[in-house]
Amino acid sequence: MANASLTATARATSGKGAARSLRREGSVPAVIYGHSREAQSLTVPSRDLEKLLGTIAAGSTVVELTIDGKPSRTLIREIQRHPFKRNVLHVDFLELVAGEKITVSIPLVLHGVPEGVRLGGGILEQMLREVEVEVDPASIPNHIDVDVSHLIVGHSVHVRDLNIPAGVTVLADEDAPVALVQISRAAIEAEPAAAEEGATPAEPELIRQKKDEEGDEDAK
């Protein structure tokens, strides 16, 4: 399980005007909520938040959020960014409770070079990059490894084939494909060309056939 830390400050102000003022001062408005607490407005340093987001998988990393000196284990549930500048405008934190399962998306990491790529001229395509699971906050995996080295052209790995850690319940469709090795475009285009090169020209046969017929007529 991945962990990170961040410091926040409780705030009493709210509204668009207050939020704009905070951003000008180098802070980001935020909120924390959870099953056992009321929503609380916060302020987090913009620089610290951006640095954190650049190093974690936000949806599956437990963030130790210290609010005015009091720590809380949280998950980032929503990040609002400016549509053009891409800076963070607002962030939502979910407080975690031990023993209370939550739903998160876990990244899927492919490992190995498929046999169909090495020997069959195929290409590897990853269709699913994360999988939704239900898990206790204390058991959230950083990622799930997927071995694709055995795949040949036309074969795939599905959700049902994943090696899921104990205590993790997959919510995705078990028949959903994760990765597939398919024949490359170059290989497809090469097949007709090879067939044409190996074909026997029809015209010489017709010429030979005509000469044979003329020879038969002379013999008569």
CATH number at residue 129: 2.170.120.20
**Does residue 42 form part of some domain?**
yes
Backbone torsion region of residue 11, taken as left when φ is above 0, otherwise alpha when ψ lies between -120 and 50, otherwise beta: beta
Residue 207 pLDDT:
45
If asked whether residues 86 and 108 sit together in one domain, one would say: no
**Does residue 85 form part of some domain?**
yes
Residue 182 pLDDT:
93
Q: Which domain holds residue 111?
A: 103-192
Write out the two tokens for 16.
């668009």
| 3-class SS of residue 208 | helix
**Does residue 40 form part of some domain?**
yes
If asked whether residues 90 and 131 sit together in one domain, one would say: no
If asked whether residues 37 and 63 sit together in one domain, one would say: yes
Residue 29 pLDDT:
94
If asked whether residues 10 and 41 sit together in one domain, one would say: yes
What is the number of structural domains in the chain?
A: 2
Residue 206 pLDDT:
46
Stretches where the chain sits below pLDDT 70 are 1, 185-220
Q: State the DSSP string of 10-28.
A: E----SHHHHHHHHHTTEE
| Separation between Cα atoms, residue 30 and residue 93, nearest integer Å | 8
Residue 80 pLDDT:
93
* Phi, psi (degrees; rounded to nearest 5) at 204: -60, -35
Write out the two tokens for 55.
């190093």
| Separation between Cα atoms, residue 218 and residue 220, nearest integer Å | 5
**Does residue 202 form part of some domain?**
no
